[in-house]
Amino acid sequence: MSTTNSYQAREFNLGGLNGISDQTLEMHFKLYEGYVKETNKLTEAITKFIADGQVDQEEMPAYSELTRRLGFEYNGMVLHEYYFDNLKTGGGSGDPERTAKFARAAEASFGSYDIWKADFVGIGKMRGVGWAICYQNPTNGRLSNHWITLHETGNVAGFDPILVMDVWEHAYLLDYKPAERPKYIEAFFSNIDWTMVENRLQKATGIRTAGA
């Protein structure tokens, strides 16, 4: 029996990026599909445990382990969708227009776009396996950058992901050496789809305005 709420892996029509090869993207899409599959498998297995209306004591260790893994797989799936969505076929334009909503939000939250960028890039260079994510707090519109360990540790509940950068080594190892992560980050920036970033921000701002 399969659950009715299982996810379908999305297709991303993405290629021809600057400094991030199609080979890397293809491998990365496969990894993403693995997260979708595992999220569905775990959800299904957990559903079986609770089908009789309770978790029996002897089921607790297996149930707990599956539930802990769910946060890893689920965030792995969702963050990859954000990541691929904020990249643009054919490459982007580098930095956003200074008059763009994002640049203005970065300035309001950090003092300047350049300081925001120094923080975001700095987080991306942190040692370890994870993500650099710029979030917007929907209650006051403020931007903040965060380091996410693996996929699930450090996400801020209720905040909206605005710009999502994968810094697991699989994101760049076919194109760069492990120590060349700064080059990958530079390539990432040259491929950002700022229209997508802008739309996420507008959506987040809209939520704030509607609730005000």
* Binding mask of the shown chain, residues 143 to 182, with x at each position contacting Fe ion by CB under 5 A: -----------------------x-x--------------
Report, in Å, the least distance between residue 171 CB and Fe ion: 5
Q: State the maximum Cα–Cα separation within the chain, in Å, rounded to a whole number.
A: 59
Alpha carbons 110 and 116: distance in angstroms, whole number:
6
| Residue facing Fe ion at closest CB distance | 166
Report, in Å, the least distance between residue 76 CB and Fe ion: 8
Which residues does residue 133 pair with via DSSP β-bridges, in sequence order?
Answer: 146, 164
Question: Closest CB to Fe ion among 62 and 129?
Answer: 129
CB-based contact 24:175 (threshold 8 Å): yes
Question: Closest CB to Fe ion among 49 and 168?
Answer: 168
Stretch 41-60 residues interacting with Fe ion (CB under 5 A)? none
Total residues in contact with Fe ion, by rule CB under 5 A: 2
Question: Closest CB to Fe ion among 79 and 105?
Answer: 79
Quote the tokens at residue 210.
Answer: 């509607």
Sign of CA dihedral 171, 175, 177, 182: negative
CB-based contact 198:129 (threshold 8 Å): no
Catalog residues that contact Fe ion under the rule CB under 5 A: 166, 168
